[in-house]
Amino acid sequence: MDITGRMERMRTGARQRMTEMKADRAESQNDQLKAENRVLRDELEETRSERQRVLDLLEKAQFTMDEPKKRRFRVFRLLLAAGAIYAVGTRTGAFQRVKGWMNEMRGQMDQMAARTTEKATEAGYRLGDVVEHTGRTIQKTGERVEQVGDQMEQKAKQTGTTA
C-alpha cells in the first residue's frame, strides 16, 4: 500500500544518511592520517639529512697516526661521530614510537567505527520498527474511519437522507 512505500522510502533515506556519515568519518580519518604521514616523512627526511652530514664529516676527517696528540684528537672525533650516530639512532627510535602510536590509534579507530556501525544499525532497526508501528496505527485509524463512515452511510440510508 501507500504506507509500506512511505516506510520503505524512510528506511532508504535513513540508510543513505548513515552511509554518508560513514563516508564523512572515513574522509576525516583519512585526512588525519595524511597529516601524520607528512609529519613522519618530514622527520625521516631530517634524520636522513643529519645522517648524511655525519657521514660527510667522517669522510672529511683524516685519521693519521703520526703523533700521539693527533691520536687523542682522532679518538675525540670518533667519540663525536659516535655521539652523532647515537642521536640519529635515537631519532629512529622516536620514529618507531610514533609508528606504534599510529598503529594503536588505527586499532582504536577501527573499534570505534565498528561500535558506531553497530549502534547506527540498531538505531536504523529501531527507527524501522517505529515507522512500521506508526504505519499500522495509521492503517487501523483509517479502517476505523472507514467503518464509522459506513455506519453513518447506513444510518443515513435508514433515515432516508443522503449525504
Domain-located, residue 121:
yes
* Domain span at 63: 2-144
pTM of structure: 0.33
Count of domains in the chain?
Answer: 1
Write out residues in the chain with pLDDT < 50, as ranges. Answer: 163
User: What pLDDT was estimated at residue 31?
Assistant: 92
Give the model's pLDDT for residue 63.
61
Would you state the pLDDT for residue 34?
Answer: 92
* Torsion from C-alpha of 138, 142, 147, 152, nearest 10 degrees: 130
pLDDT at 68: 58
- The answer to whether residue 24 sits within a structural domain is yes
